[in-house]
């Protein structure tokens, strides 16, 4: 007999099984990239294409990219009861692109092709990535169908804004494939752990990046924030079912799939955008690094270095956006959870407790920055302080892990949905 210490290693766990539903929209060609990214991440992907999808991208393409036959017809492999088996065995069903038609049929439980049968039989998490013309997305029927699906814990990603077919442009563009895959990965992880999209029905606002205060048309005062933590908060909230608005200050990252992105430059720009987006929101998370000071005067032309002496730089304070959001008399404040971030270099927790009390926020995430910590790195760590005196440490890990802790703490402080 082989001693236990010399026994064979445990076999690797089987890869998660994803059904990739492809429907008949021009954005079907982008689903090819989604499929490539999923297979490169070693997921077991079965493509279920509708007949109209094959008018845009043929079955050989899907088969070549997935390494598996493409499931199309409801009557293929009838002896295996494929229309039931595919849904039962899936760990995630991801529909890219999701047309107005598939959203309507899924919402009303129709099952007249293989994909809609899979959607009815699966008990796995379901993610729709819609793509359609603006008028179709905004039509009351589509709005009602999306609301119905979301009420069943289905994640329907908000479409992006941009070029559509022809010369048209507007909301309805498919988000970038890599960002769709990231949302799907997060939904899959939570589904495997038995966690539902617990932010469904919630509206949240996240600020991200770093503001810039102009000195002249070329130069500015800024900071090293990349926006990674704010975008991780946004993406995680989307995967948990929230309607997300990101106020993005000078971020060079791809837009997080499913989030509305409002771009700003300065602290005053950010203040105006956050206050507008916060109206009716359930939570506001201020992850952006907002300038504390701005120049009193801004030169209308480039400041030349030919000056005998460098010009003196006079600064004035910017508005404290977090304190303004947390003000108890601000309309809607009492129904919201306000979260701030504190980047500290010394005595981090002690300084952050003082800041939390002064700002009036409900939660404050404090993390040490500098020396490859905090800014512009993939990982983060910190302590989330609560106005109730609580302290929740978060060990070093992906910024999405910190984001999940923040949303857990936010949810614990939100009133129940009516």
Residues marked active site are found at: 223
Helices (H) and strands (E) in the chain, counts: 13, 19
Residue 379, Cβ neighbours under 10 Å: how many?
15
Residues 6+ apart with CB under 8 A from 88: 121, 122, 123
- Spatial separation of the C-alpha atoms in residues 315 and 298, rounded to whole Å: 11
- Spatial separation of the C-alpha atoms in residues 366 and 35, rounded to whole Å: 38
- Spatial separation of the C-alpha atoms in residues 77 and 70, rounded to whole Å: 12
Give 23: exposed, middle or buried? Use CB within 10 Å, 0-12, 13-18, 19+. buried
In three-state secondary structure terms, 5 is helix
- Spatial separation of the C-alpha atoms in residues 212 and 204, rounded to whole Å: 24
- The answer to whether 48 and 82 have CB atoms below 8 angstroms apart is no
- The answer to whether 203 and 282 have CB atoms below 8 angstroms apart is yes
Q: Give backbone dihedrals phi and psi of 69, rounded to 5 degrees, phi first.
A: -60, 150
């Amino acid at each position: 007999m082989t001693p236990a210490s010399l026994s064979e290693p445990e076999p690797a766990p089987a890869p998660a099984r994803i059904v990739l539903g492809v429907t008949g929209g021009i954005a079907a060609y982008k689903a090819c990239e989604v499929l490539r990214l999923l297979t490169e991440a070693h997921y077991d992907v079965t493509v279920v294409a509708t007949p109209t999808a094959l008018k845009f991208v043929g079955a050989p393409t899907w088969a070549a990219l997935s390494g598996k036959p493409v499931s199309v017809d409801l009557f293929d492999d009838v002896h295996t009861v494929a229309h039931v088996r595919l849904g039962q065995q899936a760990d995630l069903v991801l529909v890219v692109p999701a047309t107005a038609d598939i959203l309507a049929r899924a919402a009303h439980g129709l099952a007249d092709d293989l994909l809609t049968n899979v959607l009815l039989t699966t008990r796995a998490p379901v993610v729709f990535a819609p793509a359609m013309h603006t008028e179709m997305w905004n039509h009351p029927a589509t709005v009602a169908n999306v609301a119905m699906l979301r009420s069943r814990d289905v994640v329907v990603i908000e479409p992006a804004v941009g070029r559509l077919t022809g010369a048209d442009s507007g909301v309805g563009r498919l988000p970038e494939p890599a960002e769709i895959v990231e949302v799907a990965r997060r939904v899959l992880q939570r589904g495997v752990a038995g966690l539902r999209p617990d932010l469904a029905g919630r509206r949240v606002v996240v600020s991200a990046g770093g503001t810039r205060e102009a000195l002249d048309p070329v130069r500015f005062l800024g900071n090293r924030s990349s926006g990674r933590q704010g975008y991780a908060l946004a993406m995680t909230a989307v995967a948990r079912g929230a309607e997300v608005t990101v106020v993005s200050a000078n971020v060079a990252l791809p837009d997080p799939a499913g989030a509305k992105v409002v771009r700003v430059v300065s602290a005053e720009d950010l203040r105006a955008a956050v206050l507008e987006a916060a109206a009716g929101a359930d939570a506001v998370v201020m992850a952006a690094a907002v300038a504390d000071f701005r120049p009193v005067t801004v030169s209308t032309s480039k400041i030349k270095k030919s000056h005998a002496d460098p010009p003196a730089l006079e600064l004035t304070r910017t508005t404290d956006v977090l304190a303004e959001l947390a003000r108890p008399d601000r309309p809607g404040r009492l129904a919201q959870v306000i979260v701030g971030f504190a980047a500290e270099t010394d005595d981090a927790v002690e300084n952050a407790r003082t800041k939390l009390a002064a700002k009036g926020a409900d939660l404050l995430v404090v993390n040490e920055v500098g020396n490859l910590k905090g800014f512009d790195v993939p990982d983060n760590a910190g302590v989330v302080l609560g106005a109730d005196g609580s302290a929740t440490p978060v060990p070093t890990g992906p910024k999405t892990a910190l984001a999940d802790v923040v949303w857990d703490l936010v949810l614990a402080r939100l009133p129940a949905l009516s």
